[in-house]
Amino acid sequence: PERKKALHPTALSIQLTNVHKRYGRQYVLRGANLRVSRGEFLSLMGESGSGKSTLLNLVAGIDRPDDGQIFLFDQDITDFTDDELTHLRRRKIGFIFQFFNLLPNLQVFENVSIPLMLRYGITAGPERVRSVLDQVGLADKAHHMIHELSGGEQQRVAIARALVAEPEIIIADEPTGSLDRRTGDRILELIRSQVHAAGRTVLMVTHSERIAATGDRVARIRDGQVQDA
Ligand code: ADP
Ligand code: MG
C-alpha cells in the first residue's frame, strides 16, 4: 500500500500529528502534536499519569494510536503491520524502559547482546558489547546475572542494551531514576554524546527540571496534549 510521506522528510525524525489514545473510557492523549528533529535531544515532562510512557510506546511502535498519525523519518508508521513495526524497532530504536525490562535469569553480557543478535545475527560483536558495558561502568559485571545487581546497575544494563546497536532514535523513560547524581550525570553525558557526536535523536522523559535541562528543548504533556517550549 502507498504510504503518506512526512512534511519535512530530511529534517524530522519523529512527528506526531493529532494523536489520540485512550484506555477503555480514559482518554490519555487527545490531539497530541510533536516534532523532533534529527540530531535533537528533547526532554519530555508531565505529571504522573499524564501519558508520557504512553507517548513513548506509541513512538516506538509498541502500542498504536486510536487516531492521528505517527511518522518516523519519512515513514508513516500508523498503519504498519506488527512485523513491520518490530523490524523498524530493531533497526532504528533503542528503548530504555522505566522498569528496565531485562531478562533476570540471563547474564549482563547476554542481555546487552540481544539487540545485536536480533539485528545482525548470532555471531554479532562481543567487542561492541564490552565497549558499551565499559561506557556505563559495568565492564567488571559482564558475567553477573541480572538478579544479582542493584537497581542502579540494572538501569545501566538497560542503557547499555539500548545503545549497543547504535540506534538512530533513543527513547528513554526516566533513564537516571535509579542512579545517584554523579552516576546519573555521567550517563546523561553518554546519552548526550550520542546526539552531538553521532547525530542521533533522543526523546527522554524525566521528572527533574535539572535533568530536563540537559536536553536541547523541553516539551510538556498536559491535558492530553504536548506543549512545546
Ligand atoms: P506517565 O508515564 O505520564 O506517568 P502513563 O502513560 O503510564 O503515564 O499512563 C497514563 C494513563 O494511562 C494512566 O492513568 C494509566 O493508568 C493509564 N494507562 C497506561 N497504560 C495503560 C494500560 N495498558 N491499560 C490501562 N490504562 C493504562
Ligand atoms: Mg511513565
CA geometry: angle at 89 spanning 131 and 209, to 5°? 70
Cα–Cα distance between 146 and 134 in angstroms, integer? 16
| pLDDT for the residue 91 | 93
Predicted local distance difference test score (pLDDT) of residue 10:
58
Task: Give the residue with greater pLDDT, 125 vs 18.
Answer: 18
pLDDT of residue 11: 84
Give the position, in ligand 1's atom list, of the atom nearest the Cα of 57.
Answer: 6
Grid coordinates of 194: 550520542
Distance of CA 208 from the midpoint of ligand 2 (Å) = 13
State in Å: Cα 121 to ligand 2 middle.
32
Which three cell numbers, joined as nine digits, stand for 229? 517550549
Residues 43-95 pLDDT 10s? 999 999 999 999 999 999 999 999 999 999 989 999 999 999 999 999 999 99
Binding pocket residue ranges, ligand 1, CB within 6 Å: 23, 28, 46, 48-54
Residue 198 is predicted with a pLDDT of 84
pLDDT in tens, 19-42: 999 999 999 999 999 999 999 999
Neighbours of 56 (CB within 10 A): 22
pLDDT exceeds cutoff 60 at 7: no
Closest ligand to C-alpha of residue 49 is 1
- pLDDT recorded at residue 120: 85
**Contact call for residues 68 and 19 (beta carbons, < 8 A):** yes
67 C-alpha to ligand 1 centroid (Å): 17
Query: For residue 12, is pLDDT > 80?
Result: yes
pLDDT, position 199: 87
Calculate mean pLDDT across residues 118-124. Answer: 78
Going by alpha carbons, the residue nearest to atom 23 of ligand 1 is: 23
What's the whole-model pTM score?
A: 0.93
The whole-angstrom separation of Cα 63 and Cα 51 is: 13
Name the strands in the sheet holding 225-228, side by side, starting at the edge strand that comes first in the sequence.
93-96, 169-173, 201-205, 41-45, 217-222, 225-228
Mutate to test the pocket of ligand 1, among 19, 23, 62 (most ligand atoms within 8 A of CB): 23
> Cα of 21 to ligand 2 centre, how many Å?
15
In this prediction, residue 66 carries a pLDDT of 98
Ligand 1 atom closest to Cα of residue 63: 23
The C-alpha R_g of the chain, in whole angstroms, comes to: 17
